[in-house]
């Protein structure tokens, strides 16, 4: 009888150790800088037709996701304020086009192949200056730092601007 209770105690200790190890692994994956659980770009499978989709496909991109709404909340002097960011589409570079982009890919090995697509709005034009790009696209790149960049699409002019993020080391003129 004593041997039976020893086995039960050992089994309980073993189960506790397994649960603890799984919990620690989960915590480590959550806090890892290259975590595959945290900050993953969600993909909305509903893709509404738009001239921008055709424009992207003609330029060698494949649209893999539809509109995303990113809810944000801020606290200002104890009051809660809410806002949203919108991503119009998620696109990836087609495999044929990727071969032409080997030099680009070598510099961005740690990035996901996804591009966030933002459509030009008549009431909110993007200013193509350093500070204009910083103000308009930096929030997206900070929320999803692993994305390859942003595609700013203006269907009215058939223009696609690929915006990637880098830090200035202070040595460039």
Secondary structure element (H or E) that encloses residue 69, with its range: strand 68-76
Would you say residue 24 has pLDDT above 60? yes
Question: Within 87-147, where are the H helices?
Answer: 95-100, 102-107, 130-143
Chain segment 122-136, per-residue pLDDT in tens: 888 888 898 898 888
Reported confidence tier of residue 97, pLDDT bands at 50, 70, 90: low
Question: Within the chain, where are the H helices?
Answer: 2-31, 51-58, 95-100, 102-107, 130-143
The answer for 133, left when phi > 0, alpha when psi is -120 to 50, beta otherwise, is: alpha
Would you say residue 80 has pLDDT above 90? yes
Chain segment 59-79, per-residue pLDDT in tens: 999 999 999 998 989 999 999
Is 159 in contact with 117 (CB distance < 8 Å)?
no
Would you say residue 102 has pLDDT above 60? no
């Amino acid at each position: 009888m004593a041997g039976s209770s020893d086995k039960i105690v050992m089994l309980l200790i073993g189960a506790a150790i397994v649960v603890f190890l799984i919990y620690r692994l989960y915590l480590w994956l959550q806090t890892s800088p290259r975590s595959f659980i945290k900050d993953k770009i969600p993909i909305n499978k509903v893709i509404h037709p738009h001239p921008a989709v055709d424009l992207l496909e003609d330029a060698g991109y494949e649209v893999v996701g539809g509109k995303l709404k990113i809810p944000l909340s801020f606290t200002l002097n104890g009051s809660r304020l809410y806002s949203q960011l919108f991503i119009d589409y998620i696109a990836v570079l087609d495999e044929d086009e990727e071969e032409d982009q080997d030099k680009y890919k070598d510099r961005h090995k740690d990035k996901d192949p996804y591009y966030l697509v933002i459509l030009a709005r008549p009431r909110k034009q993007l200013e193509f200056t350093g500070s204009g790009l910083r103000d308009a696209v930096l929030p997206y790149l900070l929320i999803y730092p692993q994305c390859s960049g942003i595609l700013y699409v203006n269907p009215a002019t058939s223009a696609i601007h690929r915006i990637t993020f880098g830090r200035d080391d202070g040595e460039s003129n």
